[in-house]
Amino acid sequence: MAGETDIDALLQPGRGIVLRSEQHQDRAEILELTAQAFSISPVTGQAVEGTPVEVGLLRELFECGEYIPELSIVAEIDGGIVGHVISTRGWVGDEPFLGLGPIGVAPAVQRRGIGSALLQETAERAAAAGEPGIALLGSPGYYPRFGYVPAVSLGVRPPEAGWGDHFQVLALPGWHDGVRGTFRFAAPFGRL
Ligand SMILES: CC(C)(COP(=O)(O)OP(=O)(O)OC[C@H]1O[C@@H](n2cnc3c(N)ncnc32)[C@H](O)[C@@H]1OP(=O)(O)O)[C@@H](O)C(=O)NCCC(=O)NCCS
């Protein structure tokens, strides 16, 4: 990976950040990056003991039937992976939808726009594929800037009632009236 002093220059528009689909040989590096990104729990703000649950979840998502290769996206600088996001097949009622997560950026380069770039790339790829929308469980302080809204405001209920406004949805151009009901993530999320 680039030295930290080089990072800001590399992150200028048109410079060295590459967004591309994950390849099978990237997986060990992505899992390590995810372990680092989630070493502080986004839920509690405390250090996580042992391997964060997101690592095991991601390992299962790579192998599950709901895996969608072009929606597992890495951000690369100087040949090193510095960020990753995955979206997998989910459903609202019986209608196909997407579930996003985990998303992680290497701690040394957080808050420099890499997470934003990964979220925008995901939305563009999903829209181009005709997907109706993307659901996620995350901070209401972060995702609304990308167009996510509380899911219930669009008639989509969370898998767990207590998730409240942390359960958010991005409506894409492929949105349709059939998108109503309770969201279900890919099977590995149910084993958390
Ligand atoms: C969340 C994460 C993917 C964002 O990626 P990033 O590259 O750091 O984010 P960006 O540079 O695109 O955006 C930075 C902005 O997002 C905000 N932000 C980042 N994470 C946030 C969070 N959890 N809650 C609220 N705001 C957040 C920052 O405050 C910053 O806002 P500002 O520009 O107004 O100061 C990254 O910080 C990360 O990997 N965190 C640890 C793992 C994690 O929490 N994953 C998401 C679980 S829902």
SS3 174: coil
Check residue 10 and give its pLDDT.
64
pTM of the predicted structure, to 2 decimals: 0.94
Q: What mean pLDDT, rounded, does the chain reach?
A: 94
Report pLDDT digits (tens) over 130-157.
999 999 999 999 999 999 999 999 999 9
- By CB neighbour count within 10 A (0-12 exposed, 13-18 middle, 19+ buried), where does 178 fall? exposed
The tally of CA atoms less than 13 A away on the side-chain side of residue 24 is 1
Report the atom number in ligand 1 closest to the C-alpha of 116: 12
Q: What average pLDDT does this structure show over 58-71?
A: 98
SS3 69: helix
Check residue 184 and give its pLDDT.
98
Is ligand 1 within 6 A of the CB of residue 141? yes
Give the domain ranges of the chain: 4-186
The residue with tokens 């591309």 is 20
Check residue 60 and give its pLDDT.
98
User: What homologous superfamily is domain 4-186 in, according to CATH?
Assistant: Gcn5-related N-acetyltransferase (GNAT) (3.40.630.30)
| Confidence class for position 13, pLDDT limits 50, 70, 90 | low
| Cis preceding linkage at 150, omega within 30 | no
Interatomic CA distance for residues 68 and 52, integer angstroms = 23
Report pLDDT digits (tens) over 150-163.
999 999 999 999 99
| Confidence class for position 16, pLDDT limits 50, 70, 90 | confident
Is ligand 1 within 6 A of the CB of residue 85? no
Name the residue at shortest CA distance from atom 29 of ligand 1: 111
